[in-house]
């Protein structure tokens, strides 16, 4: 952990040498969230609601995912498939392996996409606004569960990044396919699951536990009934789903590394 801190601070010192471009980066990534959510909110005013959800209710979903995804994306930048593909190609992965320190900590410490700060802050903002305007959330026993939901999402997305990195050991063409699960999953989670066709919803509830991560918890926080009549404990699967995903990803990662050490690049 000490080492992780040292490595991150080094990254920060490096990034701070390019102050102007750093500020521009933060602002432009913020602008992505602003235009995406802004476009949705502007259009929303023309309509009566989205599958029975009001704008502030959707903001609860949207803000939560934006925050959790932004934070994970920032921390897991070293595992993001384009970054990791560079580690392999430029031999940095070999450098890491030549050092007597935990490999994953070195990769975590190798890059930190600080520019995501913009998305994270906006995510918190949108989420905070939603919490204020949804009085159903204001219960201590509900708020106590919130960190677990966020951790579950973080683990899930972190696991996806880990899988994406591992795939690049075999092929660098995986970026597009992985985007489907990372950014696609995030996009999907930003809106209530009820709006998607049944097959899509079932697929992303039971095979990929996307719906478990924030839709069911949101139903619980917002006091909304489950339109699909699934058991009442569904909202509490989020941390478990995230944990299982991360564990599976970790196994895959170890398998990939073993392959890397037997073939090189």
Partner 1 sequence: MIQVENLCKHFEIRHRHKNSWAVLRNFLKRDSSTLKAVDDISFSIQKGEMVGYLGPNGAGKSTTLKMLTGLLVPTSGRLEVNGFVPWQSRQKYVAQIGAVFGQRSSLWWDLPTIESLELLQHIYKIPTARFSSNLEMFKKLLDLDEFLQSPARSLSLGQRMRADLCAALMHDPAILFLDEPTIGLDVVAKQRIREFIQQINQDRGTTIILTTHDMADVQKLCTRAMMIDHGKLLFDGALSDLQNRFGGQRRLIVDFEEPPTQLKLANATIISQEALRITFAFARETRVAELISALTRDHAIRDLRVEEPEIEATIRAIYEGNLLSA
Partner 2 sequence: MAHSNSCVHLTYSSVRLFWEITKRSLQRHLTYRTATITGLITNLFFGLLRASVLLALLSGSSSANGWNAQDIVTYVALTQALMVVVSVFGWSDLMNTVYRGEIAAELLRPTSLFLFWLAQDIGRSLTALVTRGISIMLVCYFVFAIKVPSSFGQWLVVLLSLGLAMVISFAFRFIVNLAAFWSPDARGMARFAFIALGFASGFLMPLRFFPDWLQHVLALTPFPHMMNSIIEIYIGSSDARVIEILGLQVFWAVTLTGLAQLILARATRRLVILGG
Q: By the criterion CB under 8 A, which residues form the site for partner 2? A: 20-21, 24-25, 27-28, 31-32, 35-36, 38-40, 42-48, 50-51, 173, 176-177, 179-180, 184, 187-188, 191, 194-197, 200
221: Cβ contacts below 8 Å, ≥ 6 apart: 60, 134, 136, 137, 142, 146
Give the Cα separation of 162 and 174 in Å (integer): 12
Angle between helices 19-44 and 55-75 (to 10 degrees): 160
53 or 108: CB nearest partner 1: 108
Per CB under 8 A, the list member of 38, 51, 99, 227 interacting with partner 1 is 99
Which of 51, 52, 91, 223 touches partner 1 by CB under 8 A? 91
List 1, 20, 47, 100, residue binding partner 1 (CB under 8 A): 100
89 binds partner 1 (CB under 8 A): no
Residue 99 binding result from partner 2, partner 1, none, given CB thresholds of 5 to 8 Å by partner type: partner 1
The whole-angstrom separation of Cα 186 and Cα 230 is 22
100 binds, among partner 1, partner 2, none (CB under 5 to 8 A by kind): partner 1
Closest distance of CB 140 from partner 2, Å: 33
Between helix 19-44 and helix 117-133 the angle, nearest 10°, is 30
Q: How many amino acids of this chain bind partner 1 (CB under 8 A)?
A: 24
Q: Print the binding letters for residues 143-162 with partner 1: x by CB under 8 A, - otherwise.
A: --------------------
x/- mask, partner 1, residues 12-41, rule CB under 8 A, reads -xxx-x------------------------
d(CA 233, CA 85): 40
225 binds, among partner 1, partner 2, none (CB under 5 to 8 A by kind): none
Q: Which residues of 217-245 are buried (b: 16+ CB within 10 A; e: fewer)?
A: bbbbbbeeebeeeeeeebbbbbbebbebb
What is the C-alpha separation between 193 and 69, in angstroms, rounded? Answer: 18
């Amino acid at each position: 952990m000490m080492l992780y801190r040292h490595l991150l601070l080094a990254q920060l010192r490096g990034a701070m040498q390019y102050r102007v471009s750093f500020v521009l980066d933060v602002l432009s990534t913020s602008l992505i969230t602003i235009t995406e959510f802004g476009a949705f909110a502007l259009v929303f005013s023309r309509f009566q609601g989205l599958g029975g959800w009001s704008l502030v209710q959707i903001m609860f979903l949207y803000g939560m995912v934006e925050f959790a995804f932004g934070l994970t994306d920032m921390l897991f930048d070293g595992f993001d498939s384009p970054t990791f593909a560079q580690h392999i190609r430029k031999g940095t992965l070999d450098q890491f392996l030549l050092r007597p320190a935990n490999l994953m900590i070195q990769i975590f410490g190798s890059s930190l996409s600080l520019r995501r700060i913009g998305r994270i802050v906006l995510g918190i903002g949108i989420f905070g606004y939603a919490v204020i305007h949804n009085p159903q959330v204001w219960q201590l026993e509900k708020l106590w569960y919130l960190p677990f939901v966020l951790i579950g999402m973080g683990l899930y997305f972190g696991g996806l990044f880990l899988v994406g990195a591992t795939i690049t050991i075999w092929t660098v063409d995986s970026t597009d396919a992985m985007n489907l699960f990372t950014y696609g999953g995030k996009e999907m989670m930003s809106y209530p699951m009820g709006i998607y066709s049944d097959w899509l919803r079932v697929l992303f509830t039971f095979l990929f536990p996307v719906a478990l991560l924030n839709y069911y918890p949101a139903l619980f926080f917002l006091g909304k009934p489950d339109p699909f009549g699934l058991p009442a404990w569904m909202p509490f699967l989020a941390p478990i789903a995230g944990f299982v995903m991360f564990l599976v990803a970790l196994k895959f990662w170890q398998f990939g590394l073993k392959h890397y050490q037997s073939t090189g690049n």
